[in-house]
Amino acid sequence: MDWEVYHYRTRGISAEIEAGKLKVIESYAESGFAARVIVKGRVGFASSASREEAIKMAEKIAKISEDVLDDFPSGRFRRVEGIYDRRVEDIDSNFLKEEYERLVSSISRAKISSAKIAHEIEEVEIENSYGLECYEKSTISSMLVETVHDGGSGYEVCDSRTAELEIEETARRAEELALESSRARKIESSVYDIVLEPIAVHQLFFYSLYPSFSAENVEKGRSRVRIGDKYGEITIIDDPTVRGGLASCSFDDEGVNTVPTTLMENGVVRGYYSDWKHSKKYGITANGFRMENTGYPSPMPSNIVVKADDTDESEKCIIIHSLIGSHTANPISGDFSLEVMNANYRGSAVKGMMIYGNIFDMLKRLEGELGEVRQIENTITKSLKFGKIRII
């Protein structure tokens, strides 16, 4: 029997703010094991707080499995920089209180309905019967703030691999969104040029575009993209090696050394992201990740770096900050129809709008990128401008 054991230990501390008041300090410490075994070519999987129990249960369930895997990865890996900050280990309730005070003192006109500031340390250790032994420790800090003002609302986020968060700037952006939103008006249904800001780009791409580049989805007939297809002029790179990237790691959750993978180059599909199982057919990209620590590794994107030609023409566009319902997009066809949350048209806030279309058609209408680069969850992008999008 061949085996793989994924051992995780996470601990962290967070503050919850409700109606502008610091209400909760929470800490946690969690650890566990996820075991995968290959018995006569069949793969079994189980998770438990006990290493022995996880292996035993994985072996037991392998008897009904038809999931085939020849081997587990082996080899060495190169360290990715900027994903661990020792200072996070020392964060305590007083540090969080100072962060809270910085947050509330940055907002004076809108109200904070809720906010959460969190800092986490994660340790991952993977061993397998092919001699693989790898260990990595990383940190992540995040803040989400939701604001309200006179019937309007807004939210903003910031994340970092270090102990430092851009609290004041994030708070001020959230406040401005709520203030603008309270003055929002409806606009005529028509065709408009639009600019998706980084949060909206991530929300749209994560659910309607990225799944099409999964080697597993391609293999199982759940993707419409094929190598060589061309959709506009966008470049999309899966890059787990970005220094300080929120999804950066030295090895994936199966222990494979991480490397950048070009998914689209100037609009042409160049590759897919793959876990170990599908790498035999689609190439090794080190994208075997777990949705949760106790989950089975599957192809998932790491940092997705989006690039396009520069543009500075946004004056006549609807500027869209964020979307509602992005998880309802069709991950196979790429069709979507989404409600706009915060948006602005020619200097005035607008509301009650739905944008709809197909992500692959939309990529052909990409006119360029503008503004600052931000990382939102796993998407690293500037704002993107698209021409002639139907708004109702």
Interacting residues with another protein between 226 and 285 (CB under 8 A): none
Q: Is residue 310 within 8 Å of 324, Cβ to Cβ? A: no
Rounded CA-CA distance 361/200 in Å is 17
Q: Report if residue 185 touches another protein, rule: CB under 8 A.
A: no
Q: Is 70 exposed, middle or buried (0-12, 13-18, 19+ CB in 10 A)?
A: exposed
Q: Report if residue 188 touches another protein, rule: CB under 8 A.
A: no
Q: Is residue 122 within 8 Å of 8, Cβ to Cβ? A: yes
Please pick, from the candidates 55, 65, 264, 286, the single residue that binds another protein as defined by CB under 8 A. 65
Q: Report if residue 111 touches another protein, rule: CB under 8 A.
A: yes
Please pick, from the candidates 181, 241, 279, 375, the single residue that binds another protein as defined by CB under 8 A. 181
Give the nearer residue to another protein in terms of CB position, either 110 or 201. Answer: 110
Please pick, from the candidates 73, 152, 245, 299, the single residue that binds another protein as defined by CB under 8 A. 152
In the chain, which residue ranges form alpha helices assigned H by DSSP? 51-61, 93-105, 167-182, 198-208, 215-219, 276-282, 359-363
Q: Report if residue 6 touches another protein, rule: CB under 8 A.
A: no
Give the nearer residue to another protein in terms of CB position, either 73 or 357. Answer: 357
Number of residues that bind another protein (CB under 8 A): 75
Q: Report if residue 66 touches another protein, rule: CB under 8 A.
A: yes
Rounded CA-CA distance 305/236 in Å is 6
Contacts with another protein in 312-351 (CB under 8 A)? 324-330, 332-333, 335-339, 341, 351
**Shortest gap between Cβ of 349 and another protein (angstroms)?**
12
Rounded CA-CA distance 299/218 in Å is 11
Question: Tokens 């003002």 map to which residue?
Answer: 149
Q: Report if residue 26 touches another protein, rule: CB under 8 A.
A: yes
Rounded CA-CA distance 358/379 in Å is 19
Please pick, from the candidates 106, 113, 138, 139, the single residue that binds another protein as defined by CB under 8 A. 113
**Shortest gap between Cβ of 116 and another protein (angstroms)?**
8
Rounded CA-CA distance 327/388 in Å is 23
Q: What would the two tokens of residue 306 be?
A: 């989006």
Strands 152-160 and 111-128, by their bridges, are unpaired
- For the chain, state the CA radius of gyration: 22
Give the nearer residue to another protein in terms of CB position, either 29 or 315. Answer: 29
Rounded CA-CA distance 126/106 in Å is 43
Q: Report if residue 90 touches another protein, rule: CB under 8 A.
A: no
Contact range with another protein by CB under 8 A, out of 44-52, 79-87, 230-238, 304-312: 44-52
Q: Report if residue 21 touches another protein, rule: CB under 8 A.
A: yes
**Shortest gap between Cβ of 212 and another protein (angstroms)?**
10
Rounded CA-CA distance 391/21 in Å is 38
Residue at 75: amino acid letter: G
Contact range with another protein by CB under 8 A, out of 76-84, 91-99, 130-138, 305-313: 91-99
Per-residue binding string, another protein, 351-390, x by CB under 8 A, is xx-x-xxx-------------------------------x
Q: Which residues partner with 376 through β-bridges?
A: 379
Contacts with another protein in 45-64 (CB under 8 A)? 45-49, 53, 57-58, 60-62, 64
Q: Looking only at Cα atoms, what is the longest distance across the chain? A: 66
